[in-house]
């Protein structure tokens, strides 16, 4: 029997019936409209004030961003963040709040207390999921205040990516509680990295309002471009895999959502990260297991 209140069930039904992709398209269209120069700074400053955005980290002065989308997807100014220098560390792929952190058990991850989903469903790849069975994972929710570019938690080579079309439910805590297995139902973009930490994946989970996801290492990736998402799950493997350094940019949420990083077992140990705690891209969240066993170097 459902534990949701009547109001929560009504909201859930409304979101299930809503034209999510149309709504996201409208939000994305509006965010890309150029703001008139006389009001540009005022609008963006109000947005930054509402969500407590640290403007000192932004690459450009506020009046140089011509639209809300341009500001939302801003880069950091040089020196705004420092990625941990030690070669054996694993860093946070994104800003945000820790939703869950743990170990994949029986192919299952938690997205919130009492709500779970399978790694195979998340990745749309049972073989890859089997290889990551027993490995640590980290789920991070990005709010409007956060920096919305996603970076690599480890160094290595990008061997491929997978795009999985899906729903666009909101990904806040209330929506996650309403929609069981939401992260494996929403649209996802999976980057697969092979390197010092063995095999790792970084999953960018889309949500309502996400204009689209782009990949910094592959200009062909624009998940909401006409034709990109047609035909179901889409995969690409690289014959000449591009190299990625720890802390290098992987992709951009063109409006925000959630990241999920999963690591091959016996390669990485994550720190004890409390659910609800804030983390920043580039901060240390784990370490490589000693190379004495030949696992990591």
Tens-digit pLDDT profile for residues 78-92: 989 888 888 899 999
On whether both 265 and 185 belong to a single domain, the answer is yes
Higher pLDDT, 77 or 21: 77
The answer to whether position 1 is within a domain reads no
Q: What is the average pLDDT value for the chain, to the nearest integer? A: 81
Residue positions annotated with a catalytic role: 95, 151, 257
CB 288 within 8 Å of CB 197? yes
Confidence of residue 11 (pLDDT cuts 50, 70, 90): very low
Same-domain pairing of 48 and 127: no
Same domain for 48 and 115: no
- DSSP secondary structure of the chain: -----HHHHHHHHHHHHS-HHHHHHHHHHHHHSPPPHHHHHHHHHHHHHHHT--GGGBSS-GGG--SHHHHHTPPBPTTSS-----TTEEE-SS-EEEEEEEE-BTTEEEEETTEEEEHHHHHT-HHHHHHHTT-EEEEEEPPTTS--EEE-SS-EEEEEEEEE--B----SHHHHHHSTTGGGTB-EEEEEEEETTEEEEEEEEP-TT---EEETTEEEEETTSTTTTTTS-EEEE-SSPPEE-TT-EEEEESS--EEEEEE-TTTEEE----TT-EE-TTSEEEEE--GGGSS--
Query: Residues 217, 152: one domain?
Result: yes
Residue-range definition of the domain harbouring residue 215:
89-288
Give residue for tokens 């009492």: 114
Co-location of 204 and 265 in the same domain? yes
68 and 140 housed in the same domain:
no
Q: Is residue 84 part of a domain?
A: no
Residue with tokens 């140990």: 269
Distance CA 93, CA 80 (A): 16
Question: Residue 146 domain-assigned?
Answer: yes
Note whether residue 245 is domain-resident: yes
**Number of independent structural domains in the chain:** 2
Same domain, 55 and 100: no
- Residues 18, 129, single domain; the answer is no
> What whole-number distance in Å separates Cα of residue 233 and Cα of residue 215?
17
Answer yes or no: do 137 and 56 share one domain.
no
Looking at residue 15, its pLDDT comes to 32
Residues 59 and 160 in one domain: no
- Is there a single domain that holds both residue 31 and residue 122? no
Is it the case that residue 102 has pLDDT exceeding 60? yes
Entry pTM: 0.84
What does the CA dihedral 63, 67, 73, 79 come to, rounded to 10 degrees?
A: -10
Smallest Cα–Cα separation from 229: which of 260, 188, 261?
188
Q: Is residue 100 part of a domain?
A: yes
Tell me if 185 is assigned to some domain. yes
Last residue of a domain, which of 47, 72, 97?
72
**pLDDT of the residue at 7:** 40
Residue-wise pLDDT for 214-271, tens only, equals 999 999 998 877 777 667 899 999 999 999 999 999 999 876 688 999 999 999 999 9
Residue 29 has pLDDT above 50, yes or no: no
Predicted pLDDT at 21: 43
In a domain, 83, yes or no: no
* pLDDT confidence band for 22 (50 / 70 / 90): very low
Whether 208 and 103 share a structural domain? yes
């Amino acid at each position: 029997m459902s534990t949701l209140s009547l109001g929560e069930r009504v909201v859930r039904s409304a979101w299930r019936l809503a034209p999510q992709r149309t709504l996201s398209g409208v939000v994305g269209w509006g965010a890309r409209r150029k703001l008139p120069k006389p009001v540009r700074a005022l609008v963006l400053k109000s947005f930054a004030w509402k969500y407590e955005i640290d403007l000192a980290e932004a690459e450009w002065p506020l009046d140089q961003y011509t639209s809300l989308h341009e500001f939302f997807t801003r880069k950091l100014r040089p020196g705004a963040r420092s990625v941990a220098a030690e070669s054996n560390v694993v860093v946070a792929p994104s800003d945000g709040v820790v939703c869950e952190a743990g170990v994949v058990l029986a192919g299952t991850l938690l997205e919130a207390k009492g709500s779970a989903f399978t790694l195979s469903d998340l990745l749309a790849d049972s073989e890859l999921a089997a290889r990551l069975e027993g490995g640590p994972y980290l789920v991070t929710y990005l709010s409007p205040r956060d920096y919305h570019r996603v970076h690599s938690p480890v160094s290595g080579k990008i061997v491929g990516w997978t795009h999985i079309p899906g729903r666009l439910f909101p990904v806040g805590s209330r929506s996650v509680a309403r929609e069981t297995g939401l992260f494996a139902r929403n649209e996802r973009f999976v980057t697969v990295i092979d390197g010092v930490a063995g095999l790792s994946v970084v999953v960018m989970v889309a949500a309502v309002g996400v204009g689209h996801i782009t990949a910094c290492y592959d200009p062909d990736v624009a998940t909401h471009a006409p034709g990109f998402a047609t035909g179901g799950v889409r995969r690409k493997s690289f014959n000449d895999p591009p190299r990625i350094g720890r802390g290098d940019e992987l992709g951009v949420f063109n409006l925000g959502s959630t990241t999920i990083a999963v690591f091959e077992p016996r390669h990485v140990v994550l720190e004890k990260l409390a659910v609800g705690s804030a983390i920043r891209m580039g901060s240390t969240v784990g370490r490589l297991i000693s190379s004495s066993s030949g696992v990591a170097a």
